[in-house]
Amino acid sequence: MNRRRLHPFSHVTFTLGFAISALLVATAALSFVYTPQDPLQMSIAGRLQGPSAANWLGTDQFGRDLLSRIMTGAVTSIAVGVIAVGIGMGIGVLLGMVSGYFGGWLDEGFMRLIDAVQGFPAILSALLITAVFKPGIVISMVAIGIAFMPVFARLSRGSFLELRAREFVLAARALGAGDGAVIFRHILPNTLSPLIVQATISFPVAILAEAALSYLGLGTQPPYPSWGLMLKDAQNFLSMNPWYAIFPGGAIAVTVLGLNLLGDGLRDLLDPRVRG
């Protein structure tokens, strides 16, 4: 293996992924201060237009500018992605570390619970939750977060099982460290690297799930712009303005592609075993 491969930016996957992800974040940030047009401004005369000089990506059924709406939609995607992964990681790691550290019947019980949660992909949790609560962006964050819980729980359980019998943990305990100190100060920091990689991998999955939930009407609600919601509306106007269905979907695909490449690249860089 040569040294060039180790440099993050010489890694094609990582670089490309990083560039696309940076573009996504920049677009979302820019949308707070500037969009080509007001994303909520309607225009009856300019309904369902294709791409033009005035509206680069065309307009929707209310004559609103698609480019501006896609830009603001990026904020929704990022927000749902970050919070959903945070929820899944928070609860998952907590369950996983208690499970792996204490073992025994607690472990057995938690693992069956995790198996059960695995039966609830984001769509199913969202269906269940929206049956009793109003659909909205918070519901999609929670539903997607729940779907991520098992993978984080298993990952941190595995690390805790492996590390709890290691010398440095025994040494810490011999010196009088309590369970809390051993868990948080000695073991947890050593389990972070695979968790970070998993979080990066989960982020684009969350964005896909958010789009799907909004498409079904279970996630983000109008007038908040969301890429999935735009596609839901676009379906009714496929023959009148096909671009309406193409651009928001393209935005999802490019975003997910970029984040996946970033995740793959990061994994290669952080985990030398898969390299070479």
Amino acid at 26: A
CA distance 241 to 259: 29
Q: How far is CA 250 from CA 15, 70, 227, 263, in A?
A: 20, 10, 10, 20
CB 225 within 8 A of CB 68: no
CA distance 104 to 188: 20
238 binds another protein (CB under 8 A): yes
Q: Which of 81, 88, 204, 265 binds another protein (CB under 8 A)?
A: 204
Q: Which is nearer to another protein, 109 or 179 (CB)?
A: 109
74 binds another protein (CB under 8 A): no
Stretch of residues binding another protein (CB under 8 A), selected from 46-54, 64-72, 152-160, 231-239:
231-239
Stretch of residues binding another protein (CB under 8 A), selected from 52-60, 164-172, 177-185, 247-255:
247-255
271 binds another protein (CB under 8 A): no
CB 58 within 8 A of CB 50: yes
DSSP for 187-212, written as a single string: IGGGGHHHHHHHHHHHHHHHHHHHHH
Q: Which residues contact 148 (CB under 8 A, 6 or more apart)?
A: 84, 85, 87, 88, 89, 92, 202, 205, 206
For residue 24, the minimal CB distance to another protein (Å) is 13
229 binds another protein (CB under 8 A): no
206 binds another protein (CB under 8 A): no
Using CB under 8 A as the binding criterion, the count of chain residues that bind another protein stands at: 43
Q: Which residues ranging from 82 to 141 are in contact with another protein (CB under 8 A)?
A: 112-113, 115-124, 127-133
Binding interface with another protein (CB under 8 A): 112-113, 115-124, 127-133, 204, 208, 211-212, 215-218, 231, 234-235, 238-239, 242, 245-246, 249, 252-254, 256-257, 260-261
